[in-house]
Structure 1
Amino acid sequence: MLGIGDDCAVLSLPPGQETLVTTDFSIEGIHFRRDWQSPESIGHRCLARGLSDIAAMGGTPAAAFLSLALPARLSPAWPDRFLEGLLALARTHRVELAGGDTAESPGGVVADIIVVGRVRRGRALLRCGAKPRDLIYVTGDLGESAAVLHLLGSGRIKKRDVFSQPRVAVGEWLVRRGVGTSAIDISDGFSTDLSHLCEESGVGAAIESDKIPIHMEARKLSRNERGGEQASRLSLQLALHGGEDYELLFTASRSKHIPERIAGVKVTRVGEVLRERKMYLVQNGKCAILMPRGWEHFSAAKKSAH
C-alpha cells in the first residue's frame, strides 16, 4: 500500500478478494457535540462508523481516508486529540490512514471518513439473504449510547464519552464459517436497522423482548427513573430504538450452531425471521407490532446523538 505523500493512495488486493468501500459523515450538532464528548471520543466514533459497515459485510478493513473541516477559531489541540482517538482505533484493527483532506469550516466541525476493506469474492454478507425460519442474533449489549444521550440531554450529566467497538472479528468469523445469511450493523437503532434488513430480504421478524441484551447503563437509568410502568419500559425502549451501538444484527439458519461468544464477543439469539412482512415484539406472551423508531435521516425533530 502506498499511502500519504502522493496525489493518490495505491491499494492492492490479494487474488480472489473483492473491495468494500463505505463513507460516513460526522457533523457537529447532528452526530456529536464538542461540549458533550472529548475529541478522542469523537475521533474514535468517526472511524468506528466506517469499520462497523465493513464488519457488517464480513470484511477486513484495510485503509481509511479522512476529510476534516474545522472552524477557524478551534483550538489547535482539538484536531490533535481527535486524531489520537481515531488512530488508536485504527491501530487496533490494523487500518492505515492512507489519505484525506483538510479545509476551513464556516460553522462547526465536519468529518467525512471513507473506509476501504476486502472480502473473499462472492462471500460478502448482505442485507437481502434472510429466509423465513432463520434465527436472529445480535452481538454485545444495546442501549449504552442512548442512555448516555438521555442523561446529557436532561442535564443530569455534563459530559460523557462512549467508545463503541465495531465487531470486525465477528463479521469475519461469520464469513469464514459460512453461517450468516444476512447482516447489518446497528447504527440507526435495532428496530430501524432490523426493518432495513427485513425490507431488503422481503421478510418479517418476531423479536422476544426478554431476550434483548440491554446494556447496564440503560438498565441503571431505568432503575433511577420515576414514573411507574413507563419508567420500567425505558431501558427496553433505549435498547430497541436508541442507535449508535455499532453491534451486529445478523441471521443464520436454525440448522447452524451459533456459539454464545464469537471472538470473545457475546452473541444473543433474539428472535426469528417470518414469512409475513411485518415486525412483531413478543412480550409476556403477547404480540405487538414493532415499529422502526430509531434514527431518521433528514428529520428536523432529531437532536444531536453520540
Structure 2
Amino acid sequence: MSLAQSAAIAGDAAPAATGRAAAWRRSALPYLLAAPALLLLAVAVLYPVLFNVFASLHAWNLLEDDAPRAFVGAGAFAAVLADPQFWTALRVTLLFTVCAVALEFTIGLTLALVANEAIPGRRLIRTLLVAPIMATPLVVALVFRLMWHGEFGIINHALGQVGIGPVVWLAGPWTAFVAILTVEVWHNTSFVFLVLLGALQMLPAEPFEAAKVDGANLRQRLWHVTLPLLKPAILVALLFRIVFAVRLFDEVWVLTRGGPNGATETISILLYRAAFEVFDVSRAGALSILLLAITAGLAWLLIRFLYHRGES
C-alpha cells in the first residue's frame, strides 16, 4: 500500500470516529443532565429507606443507647405483627383509605364533569372548588376542630336549628371517624377535581360526536367513552390519593390523636408514638417498612385493576 493510499484511509476514518463520538455525546447528554436530579432523589428517598431497614433489623432504643445494640433480624417485624394494636390500626387505615378515596373520586369526577360544561360562572366555580387544596392540613384540622366542637361548634349550632341535639363528634368511635373522613374529603377532593378537569379539557371531541350520532345516551357516553379516555388521569389521581391517605397523620393527630380508644388510630399514629414518645427506633423502622409495603401493595392493586379493565 502506498503512502497516498494510507493517508486517504486515515482521512476517511477520522470523520467517522468524530461522528461516532458526537453521536455518543448526543445520546449520553440526557442522562448526564438528569444525573444530578437522580442522585438527589436517590439520597432523599433511598437513604431513608435503607436506614429504616437497618434500624428495623437491630435492637435500638434511644432511651437506652444512642446506637444499635444487637442484630435481631426480623424480631421487630414479628413483634409488630403480633401486636393487636397494629392490626386495629391497619383496619382503621385501610377502611379510611377506601372510604376517603372512593368519596373523593366520586365527588371530584362529578364536579369535574359539571365544571367542564358551559355553565354560567364556571370560572368562579372552578376557583372555589380548587381553593381547599391551597390550605395546609394543619390549618384545616384546627379550623374543623372548632367546627366539630360539641358545645360551641357551628355544626352542632346548625343541627340545633332543626331540632337535633348536640353531638359530641370527636368523643364517639364512629362519629370521630366520620368527622376525620369529612375533613379529609373536603380538603383533598380538589386535587382529584383538578386532575380530572384538566384531562377532560384535553379530550378530543370526535369520539363524543360519533357516540351521539350512534345514539348513545349520557350514561353510555360516560361509561364507554369518557371514563376509558380518562383512565391515565384517573390512575394518577387515585395513586396520589391512595399514597397520601394511607399515611394520614395531621388531621388525625390534631382532631383525636388516635382516640377514642384507638378508633381513629392509623399506622402513622403508631409510628409517631414509637419514634417520638417511646423512642423505639427499631419498632418505628419496622412500622415504616410495613407502611411502605402496604402503600406499594395498594398501588399495585389499583394499577392491576385498571389494566385488567382496560384489557377486558
Which band: TM-score by shorter chain?
Answer: under 0.3
Q: How does the TM-score come out when normalised to structure 2?
A: 0.22
- Which one has a larger percent strand, Structure 1 or Structure 2? 1
**Greater radius of gyration (CA):** 2
